[in-house]
């Protein structure tokens, strides 16, 4: 792993189009600004791991329910029950705040 | 198309009912094609069956039935990935984790479906305040609780 020492306000460039800036340092908290194209997902790693672990638990739980016979009653054929529309507050057009992402190119 | 599943045997799925997950979902990158099988007893509850892996299945719920004030702000990146330009073309499902201690819904990382293209994606609602384990009751006499958001 590459380890760099940087000061507040200094930047690191990753590849052609990702830039990380050290916004501030206070105690053991570092605020990073990350500028990346939309197609590159920027997430806190522990959040991704949490979702991954939950998905695995969900798959285990669903298989267990099926083995117990929760689906022994005949299924309705797929497609007969339309999905309710999603209530999305906004399709976000703005980039996230400086906490995670510092804007799009 | 005829789909073999471990839990339901062979199911006939019309091509128009397939869901496509171009990126898989977190922890299951190989989950590319799925279908939804309605739960016979609980409206709003469906099995999400992976077509390429007969053993991979999830339980899902329409989150609004239980969490009436559930709000989603889809990032531009996710909307782009789904090809969504109009919120009316989107549907949402929450993955359910069932265990001996009861069931929980993952409101942090719902499945968003573009109902026009049937392209689907698990999104992470960063900074939304939702988490992965919102308690939920499935198949109770009155359906899921009216407000289980914490």
Residues of B in contact with A50 (CB under 8 A): 108, 132
- Nearest Cα residue in chain A from B139: A70
Percentage of chain B modeled with pLDDT above 90: 47
Q: What are phi and psi of A20, to 5 degrees?
A: -115, 130
Nearest Cα to Cα of residue B104 among B150, B44, B36: B150
pTM, entire model: 0.80
Q: Is the ipTM of this complex over 0.95?
A: no
For residue A79, what pLDDT is reported?
47
Residues of B in contact with A17 (CB under 8 A): none
pLDDT in tens, B20-44: 999 999 999 999 999 998 887 777 8
Whether the pLDDT of residue A12 is over 70: the answer is: yes
For residue A38, what pLDDT is reported?
80
CB nearest A93 (choices: B39, B71, B76): B76
CA distance A6 to chain B (A): 27
Nearest Cα to Cα of residue A95 among A29, A17, A41, A22: A41
B10 touches chain A (CB under 8 A): no
**Regions of chain B where pLDDT drops below 70:** 139-150
CB nearest A84 (choices: B6, B7, B91): B91
B1 touches chain A (CB under 8 A): no
pLDDT in tens, B140-150: 443 444 344 43
**Overall average pLDDT of the A46-60 stretch:** 96
CA dihedral A64, B64, B132, A46 (to 10 degrees): 130
């Amino acid at each position: 792993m590459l380890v760099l020492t940087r000061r507040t306000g200094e930047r690191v460039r990753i590849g052609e189009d990702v830039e990380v800036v050290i916004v501030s340092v206070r105690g053991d908290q570092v605020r990073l600004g990350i500028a990346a194209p939309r197609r590159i997902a920027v997430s806190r790693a522990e959040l991704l791991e949490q979702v991954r672990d939950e998905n695995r638990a969900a798959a285990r739980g669903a298989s267990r329910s099926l083995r117990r016979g929760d689906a022994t009653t005949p299924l309705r054929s797929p497609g007969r029950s339309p999905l309710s529309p999603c209530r999305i507050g906004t399709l976000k057009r703005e980039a996230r705040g400086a906490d995670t992402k510092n804007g799009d190119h | 198309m005829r789909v073999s599943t471990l839990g339901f045997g062979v199911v006939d799925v019309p091509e128009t009912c397939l869901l496509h997950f171009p990126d898989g979902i977190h922890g299951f990158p190989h989950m590319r094609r799925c279908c939804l099988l309605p739960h016979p007893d609980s409206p709003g509850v469906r099995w999400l069956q992976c077509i390429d892996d007969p053993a991979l299945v999830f339980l899902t719920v329409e989150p609004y039935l239980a969490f009436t004030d559930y709000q989603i702000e889809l990032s531009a990146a996710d909307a782009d990935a789904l090809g969504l330009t109009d919120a009316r073309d989107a549907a949402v499902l929450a993955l359910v984790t069932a265990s001996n201690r009861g069931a929980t819904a993952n409101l942090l990382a719902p499945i968003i479906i573009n109902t026009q293209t049937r392209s689907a994606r698990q999104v992470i609602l960063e900074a939304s305040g939702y988490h992965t384990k919102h308690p939920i009751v499935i198949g109770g006499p009155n359906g899921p609780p009216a407000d289980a958001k914490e």
